Structure 1
């Protein structure tokens, strides 16, 4: 059983995962990242879970990497850091991942937020990459994903100065999709997750993959993937069900076939 996560059993196709290391403001140490990677790997194999909501506490989503753990590693330890494989596993998660963020999302916490597909933030949320203050730089996608999310100028400002931005600024920049009252952040994320969980699983997965392709490839390659995915979905039972449900004016019952 996870020790640094709280996992709510799947309901209506949605599983809620809560980072739970309150004594360290959910700082991301090797154990927590390992438990999260393992939990997401289990979700991949669970057809009953269609969407995951990831959250932290009201005070902090995750306040960064575990500095004390980092201080114990020499150069060899850094080069062989087991957290690298955990981050890779989290990055490869194929189902929709919604982050519900309250409080601080700094350093590794901000990088974890950027692994999510949709970000719902409380008005008290703060996003930043303060690694520069320690004489280092972001190392879990913080430079690459941040620039793609908010653009060059703001990414440079955040990474080179270490200054965090608030939730409204993050929304205007494109890092956050919605801002809500802090006490409603998780509720809103679950509401959206349940809506997505009602959609055809294959269509959701391929649509997510196509959107991510847009970040990583040129337009022509992205369009080729989109056409291929569209063609694949045309032969599914869920496509037939969706059209029939529309014509019959009823709610579709998608099975992932």
Structure 2
């Protein structure tokens, strides 16, 4: 069973079913370079390989200032188009691994979530932020566009108009506005951030985790389908949950007026 694994630029620790992946470059405000993106992908492979012991994944940044302040401009400065495409594909590969996990994922946004940092947070299922957090896609101020999924995931979270405004102006928004437009789900005081995140994670882990994973899968895969097709997909997955032991336990416990003991079976 995975306990703790330290990479050069990220940390992966597991405690009571909750894995915490920390981007650990505080001197660079946790900026994402190619090595860090590679290590994120490797850590996510570890999480996927330990599904039985890891129930929820939390992603955060080291230090008090920044979740992830963006991609590493010092690395990108002299890139040509082919090198830029390679970096973009590396980020897409790692971020898609987050979305493809069966486990629920929570971004604990402790500070700046800009550019690649916002794109990383947007890859998670739920976003909880410190009231000191700032969000933005400032790529146009550098003469480029978002390249790690920002034009797509941000649009799906906040709508076309708000996404276009944020991307075209490059301006930052605070946590309150981020919550108002649907970019984040919860706001906390900085000192309470991880407590709140773990509270959510523990609430999730009390439930049938097969059902949680299936619900996540249906939401992600069917959200852009025609409604009738999406409903058929939901019906298929809903009916499949009735073949699990968790369904039997959950409904039996309800009828017996006790708390269920789910085993992920």
Once residues 216 and 41 of structure 1 are traced to their aligned partners in structure 2, the CA distance between those partners, rounded to angstroms, is 27
What is the TM-score of this pair, normalised by structure 2?
0.92
Q: Select the residue among 53, 70, 76 that pairs with 1:48.
A: 53
Does residue 152 of the first structure (1) align with residue 156 of the second (2)?
no
SS in structure 2 opposite 1:80?
Answer: helix
What is the TM-score of this pair, normalised by structure 1?
0.95
Match runs of 1:1-257 below 5 Å = 1-11=6-16, 13-46=17-50, 47-56=52-61, 57-81=63-87, 82-257=90-265
Give unmatched runs, 5+ long, in structure 2. Answer: 1-5
Once residues 40 and 151 of structure 2 are traced to their aligned partners in structure 1, the CA distance between those partners, rounded to angstroms, is 22
Q: Which deviations, in whole Å up to 9, do the C-alpha atoms of 1:86-123 show, x marking residues without a partner?
A: 33333422311001112100000000010010111111
Select between 85-94 and 173-182 the one with higher mean Cα deviation: 85-94
Contact preservation (8 Å) 1:14, 1:197 = no
Higher relative contact order (Cα pairs below 8 Å, separated by 6+ residues)? 1
Q: CA deviation at 1:22?
A: 0.8
Contact preservation (8 Å) 2:96, 2:123 = no
Contact preservation (8 Å) 2:69, 2:115 = yes
Contact preservation (8 Å) 1:102, 1:121 = yes
Contact preservation (8 Å) 2:14, 2:20 = yes
SS in structure 2 opposite 1:216?
Answer: coil
CA RMSD of aligned residues (A): 1.4
